[in-house]
Amino acid sequence: MRPPRPDPIIDIRGLSCTYQDRGTVLRDLDLSIKPGEFVLLTGPSGAGKSTLLRCINGLFQHDGIQGTATGDVRVCGKDPAATRVCDLARLVGTVFQDPDHQLFSSDVESEIAFGLEQLGTDPAKMKGRIDEAAGAVGVGHLLQREVNALSWGERQRVAIASVVAMRPSVLLLDEPTSGIDQSGAGHLVSVLKRLNEETGLTIVVAEHRYEHFSRVCSRLVSVQDGAICYDGPPVSAGLQAPERDPAGDGTGSEVPDRPPLLSFEGIVYTYPGAARPALNGATLTVHAGEVVVLAGPNGSGKSTLLRHVNGLLTPDRGTVRVGGEEIRGKSVAEIASSVGFLAQHADTQLFAETIEDEISFAPENLGFSPEKKEASVGRVMNALGLDRIGRLAHPLNLSVGEKQRVAIAGILAMETPVLVLDEPTLGLDPARKAGLAEGLRRYARDGKAVLVTTHDREFAALLGGREVRIQDGTIVQIGRAEQ
């Protein structure tokens, strides 16, 4: 006699979700997940993956402002709509796409301890739980560090450790490898695999960088236009980014015989209170007509270098030049007419009430005529697939990938001679990555300079161009971007 099949730990029937300003995102969706499964959730940007996770942890049902949900959802036997979010959080741990949305303690150890304190964990056992979670996720060496001093990837791993420490029955992760280098992503996947196998933890991961997870998950669920289009064993067919022929695009590893539009000369910078410099003599030149990929491990100085390009940071020593002119002493607003800058977190750049207002803001402030502004807004919305969302949608109500595209559109609409983007592929599916890469190469072919940081090797290969590696705040290697 066969043993009885376990009841689903997640059971969803006829789930539909509608946002007030962008319509229906999930459509009559059914999904059943058994205890101990490791499920990889894939699909294009805006397909509904993040909304599905927010229905599992109850955040969507308890946010009556954004939209409404119909259908039946049961998680660990509970209805998320009828269960307080704080009570469900004891059973369902969530790691969000942006770690800054869930980190608020001053130091790493306090951050991991916070959830345990709320659960009333015995203080005598708490230190062991903290060390166990930190060691599992590879942040044991960071326990005494200030959270604000960590890189994106380090903060992401701390967020995961803070959730794992509470030992939930279900772990939801939304784009957990975003902003993490290849080594860190591989380590994270190994950690999750071990947690799943050794503790029976049910794991659901929504991810675009699925090349790592497809080898360890037990099941693949693909969402398209709010409905499940595949549910079965992990497969790779159809999941690869389209290839391109890099020849002849004018953005190769050779340095163009054109003038430099952006240069960093011997940049040294130390964050206040830090024991050592984040940048230690970094020197780099980007010419007109060139795409340069700035690569390196988390904490190597990539984002710090980019923050010098528009005056957000001022070097302790060294010079930054844009168009041959030193920018020291210029305001951020003055530099913005020459440099379009995309920060690593799109949420920090979005503030307008509608997509149209968001993209129009910079062109208006740069003095574009109404005709030029409208042409620029229409062009970038079409190029980034924002037309289907609509101009009147609120940017902060979108998925992370959609918000990322709005932020990129706002930068491209400025038409500046220098374009600098910090991890621009957050939340973007392979087709969107390929489209963005082609757009950036076209931008360079028009005689402009493009500097991009990314941990995404596929995207770097699509960009082609020159790859520059930074280590411990110093440029150490120059070559061609390879997949």
| Contact yes or no for 407/349 (Cβ under 8 A) | yes
Q: How far apart are CA 190 and CA 186, in angstroms?
A: 6
Share of the chain above pLDDT 70, in %: 92
Return the higher-pLDDT residue of 198 and 357: 357
Q: Which two tokens stand for residue 353?
A: 């009430």
> Cα angle at 54 between 25 and 60, to 5 degrees?
75
Q: How many CA atoms lie within 13 A of 66 on its CB side?
A: 18
Q: How many CA atoms lie within 13 A of 337 on its CB side?
A: 10
For the domain made up of 10-232, give the CATH fold: Rossmann fold (3.40.50)
| Contact yes or no for 481/460 (Cβ under 8 A) | yes
Per-residue pLDDT, averaged over 166-179, amounts to 88
Confidence of residue 97 (pLDDT cuts 50, 70, 90): confident
Tell me what pLDDT residue 119 has.
85
**Using CA of residue 320, residue 322, residue 325, residue 330, what is the dihedral sign?**
negative
| Contact yes or no for 107/145 (Cβ under 8 A) | yes
Q: How far apart are CA 61 and CA 348, in angstroms?
A: 25
Q: How far apart are CA 160 and CA 162, in angstroms?
A: 5
Report the 10 Å Cβ neighbour count for 477.
11
Asked whether residue 248 carries a pLDDT value surpassing 50, the answer given is no
Superfamily for the 260-480 domain: P-loop containing nucleotide triphosphate hydrolases (3.40.50.300)
Asked whether residue 191 carries a pLDDT value surpassing 60, the answer given is yes
DSSP class of residue 80 equals G
Tell me what pLDDT residue 4 has.
58
Tell me what pLDDT residue 137 has.
80
The residues that bridge with 477 in the sheet, in sequence order, are: 469
Q: Which two tokens stand for residue 206?
A: 């929504």
Tell me what pLDDT residue 413 has.
95
Q: How far apart are CA 347 and CA 39, in angstroms?
A: 28
| Contact yes or no for 91/119 (Cβ under 8 A) | no
Asked whether residue 220 carries a pLDDT value surpassing 80, the answer given is yes
Q: What DSSP element (H or E) covers 202?
A: strand 202-206
Hey, which bits of 327-412 come out as E strands?
A: 339-342
Tell me what pLDDT residue 258 has.
83
Helix (H, G, I), strand (E, B) or coil at 16: strand
Give the tens place of pLDDT for each residue, 312-328.
Answer: 999 999 999 999 999 99
Amino acid identity for residue 181 in this structure? D
Q: Kindly list the domain boundaries of the chain, sorted by start residue.
A: 10-232, 260-480
Tell me which of 150-164, 180-194, 238-252 is least confident. Answer: 238-252
Confidence of residue 100 (pLDDT cuts 50, 70, 90): confident
**Contact partners, residue 201, CB within 8 Å, separation at least 6:** 36, 168, 169, 170, 171, 195
Mean residue pLDDT of the chain comes to: 87
Confidence of residue 3 (pLDDT cuts 50, 70, 90): low
